[in-house]
Structure 1
Amino acid sequence: MGERTRGSLAAAVLLVALCLALLPAAARPALAEGASASAIRVFQRLGYPEGTSGLRRTWSYRLERVTPGAPMPEGSEGDAYGWEMEGDDEASIKIPAPDAPGDYRYRMGQVLPDGLEAGYSTDGTTYDVLVRVAADGSEAAVLYGPDGEKVADPGWTVTYSAPAPAPSRPSGIMGAIVSALPGTGDVAWAAVGAAAALAVVGTCTLALGRAASRRRAAADAKGGRHEEIH
């Protein structure tokens, strides 16, 4: 190969490299390995009454892989990535760039703790995440809500309302009857107890009334005999 040919080839290689370097990142034909394709910002809001204390302020969330082989954020365990937010907070979930064109799907939602106390109303919203990589290397992340609508500001809100106090246990005859019933907490048992108590009271009242009637009849009969003697 002559000197002129080698010089022309070197110049062509340099020209191609310069053109690729000047292209925008999204227009390059190859994805940058290890780059962050998508940073999804999410929020948490706590709707607690003013002046309350001792309530949960930290809640857990999880991003799950749906498409096999889809890249996961750093710190993931298997097909899931978990994180926490405290108070009114925001977080950025960084999904690494896929190494090939295609659609990569995820699912994101709140993780409820075991034995959650009464009074909390949690946000059960689940978001579907789609990361789409075109053949030219351009990337786009789209989030969809439960109804399939696009969501620009994903997040969760937790509210709290103090539960109503438990009803006091009845006293007297009704209390004794309710105490003797199975402790199921079923309102039906309380109704049964109330009906039984009313039945007992009614029976006692009827018995007392009959006894009083018999006494009055006996007194009237005795008075009639006394008048006949005189």
Structure 2
Amino acid sequence: MTTSVNSTLEVPKNCRAPNHPILRLAFKILCIVAVSQKSLDHWKDTKNKEWKEHVSMMVNRFQNSNVTAGLVLATTTLFLSSQPPIEHLMAYNSSVSYIFAMISFGAALLSVISGAAVLVIYETSTTHKDMETLKHMSRHQVIALLLWLAYPSICLSVATCFLFVSIFIACFWSDNNVVNIITILGCVAFLSNGVLTLYVLSVVGRQPVDDKNDLPHTSH
């Protein structure tokens, strides 16, 4: 009975992806960052067991994100408040490196603050309120909700990237060739991971295409 009811439910029009290819892609990316889904199809029924499992997963994700943001915040605080022990190997007190570290500190702090707020409000709302109201939200309210849920992750990504750039600059300007080589290898590994992430994201979940050559031939 539950399966038949769920199959008849449809995602509200305001929660569907736009028809424009670019906007559709942007909406898909926003959904992935905000709710760890490629769409809002799971919003069509917020009273079933799957929705509760999704809420539990999102709460765990926000908690892990807050821990990671706290580690980035502690690291940038160390860089901003201390002198490098061996300056000719890693001069992170240079102006350019210090500026990137400051940006990373601000983004990490925003991630911690917004992540804590999202965690408290999201967990409270999904526990004590009827989430069926999601279906009656307007398009701009849906986008605002997704941006709000994605804000901690976006800030954490910015903080992590700028911290990496700050360390990269500090190490790349080192007078030691070994440090320079290690820095270049670290940058290559960082970029390779980004390429692999985009590739896996584009491949996983894609519907398989039937190979016509493998189809059995029928006699006429």
TM range (shorter): under 0.3
User: More relative contact order in 1 or in 2 (CA 8 Å, sep 6+)?
Assistant: 2
Larger helix proportion, structure 1 or 2?
Answer: 2
TM-score, length-scaled by structure 2: 0.20
Larger radius of gyration: 1
Larger strand proportion, structure 1 or 2?
Answer: 1
